[in-house]
Amino acid sequence: MANHSLEAIRNAVPAILPSLLLCDFGDLKSEVARLVDAQIEVLHLDVMDGHFVPNLTYGMPIVEGLRRHTDLPLDVHLMISDPLEYAKPMADAGADLLTFHIEAVHPEEAAETAQRIRELGVGVGVALNPETPLSTLARCLPMVDMALVMSVEAGFGGQEFNPIALEKLRAIREQYPDLLLEIDGGIDTSTIEPARQAGCDLFVVGSAIFRQDDYGRAIGALSEAMTSRSGEQQEAPRS
Ligand code: DX5
Ligand code: ZN
């Protein structure tokens, strides 16, 4: 089944993805409208179970609620212990791409996990934390649509960028020239460009957007920084 939303994510590259973790959940519909006004094309949803990571966020009801109010592709980051337990409910709720953490499965089960998620008709990504060696992804990278390289330990926004992520991005890009690459954690106007130069396609941003009053201005600055050296043209968001 052609996954049109996955194509939409690919077509958005290079893209800034606001991470829905530090946003105002008491006014989510308006928050999404503000992001759409800033010409955001993909949303990143941080699902945490309080077990795989020491933080608890939200599940299918929020995904369903977002699905009702936006057609933007929903890139769902599963920071949960048993990704296959919730993959189908999340896909049914409206997720377009489901990313599981390699640390949450047995390495020899990662390829099968990816395959079973893809069979749900959604895109599949695999994520790894800064301390996790790239070698753990070897068997499942050929099975996924995206690799999510964490530049912070999964669990919280507002952490400091870990440059180990840049080495991993370069190594994956060299071996998989067409794989979607995403980076997540500590992305701001000073770290987004090195990540782009390392071959990254999708840039998840939390505090560098949601801790600013003017989302359009923040996203415009990030977009400019992202393409500063590569000279790629980006449409300036309406402020
Ligand atoms: C952390 C989440 C990230 C985080 C990004 O576990 O996966 O998406 O919210 O927030 P910043 O950009 O503030 O590091
Ligand atoms: Zn995330």
77-123: pLDDT as tens digits: 999 999 999 999 999 999 999 999 999 999 899 999 999 999 999 99
Q: Please give the structure tokens belonging to residue 136.
A: 């753990």
- Residue 21's pLDDT band (cuts 50, 70, 90): very high
Q: Catalytic residue, from 75, 96, 145, 184: name it.
A: 184
* pLDDT > 80? residue 239: no
Of all residues in the chain, what percent carry a pLDDT higher than 90?
92
Which residues fall within 8 angstroms of residue 16, CB to CB, at 6 or more apart? 40, 192, 203, 205, 219, 222, 223, 226
What integer pLDDT is reported at residue 228 of this predicted model?
86
Per-residue pLDDT, 232? 57
What is the distance between the alpha carbons of residues 231 and 222, in angstroms, rounded to a whole number? 14
pLDDT tens digits for range 216-235: 999 999 999 998 876 555 44
Reported as a pLDDT band with limits 50, 70 and 90, residue 210 is very high
Residue with tokens 């770290």: 191
Sign of CA dihedral 136, 141, 143, 145: positive
Whether 24 is catalytic is no
130 lines ligand 1 (CB under 6 A): no
The answer to whether 75 is a known catalytic residue is no
pTM of the model: 0.95
pLDDT at 237 over 50: no
User: Ligand 1 in contact with 77 (CB < 6 A)?
Assistant: yes
Whose Cα sits closest to atom 4 in ligand 1?
A: 157
Ligand nearest to the Cα of 186, by number: 1
**pLDDT tens digits along 45-70:** 999 999 999 999 999 999 999 999 99
The rounded distance, in Å, linking the Cα atoms of 57 and 155 is 10
Q: In the numeric block, which tokens belong to residue 196?
A: 């782009």
Q: Report how far ligand 2's centroid is from the alpha carbon of 231 (Å).
A: 27
- Give pLDDT tens digits for 138-170: 999 999 999 999 999 999 999 999 999 999 999
2-231 has which CATH code?
A: 3.20.20.70
Other C-beta atoms lying within 10 Å of the C-beta of residue 55: 16
Core vs surface per residue 128-146: b (16+ CB within 10 A) or e = bbbebebeebebbbebbbb
- Rounded CA-CA distance 82/104 in Å is 7
Other CB atoms within a 10 A radius of the CB of residue 158 amount to: 14
Q: Which band of pLDDT confidence, cut at 50, 70 and 90, is reported for residue 1? A: very low
Q: Is residue 18 predicted with pLDDT exceeding 60?
A: yes
Catalytic residue among 46, 75, 145, 201: 46
Residue ID of nearest Cα to ligand 1 atom 9: 157
pLDDT at 43 over 80: yes
Across 164-182, average pLDDT: 98
Q: What DSSP string runs through 170-220?
A: HHHHHH-TTSEEEEESS-STTTHHHHHHTT--EEEESHHHHTSS-HHHHHH
Residue 14 burial class via C-beta count within 10 angstroms: exposed 0-12, middle 13-18, buried 19 and up: middle
Domain boundaries, the chain: 2-231
Report the C-alpha gap between 231 and 195 in whole angstroms: 15
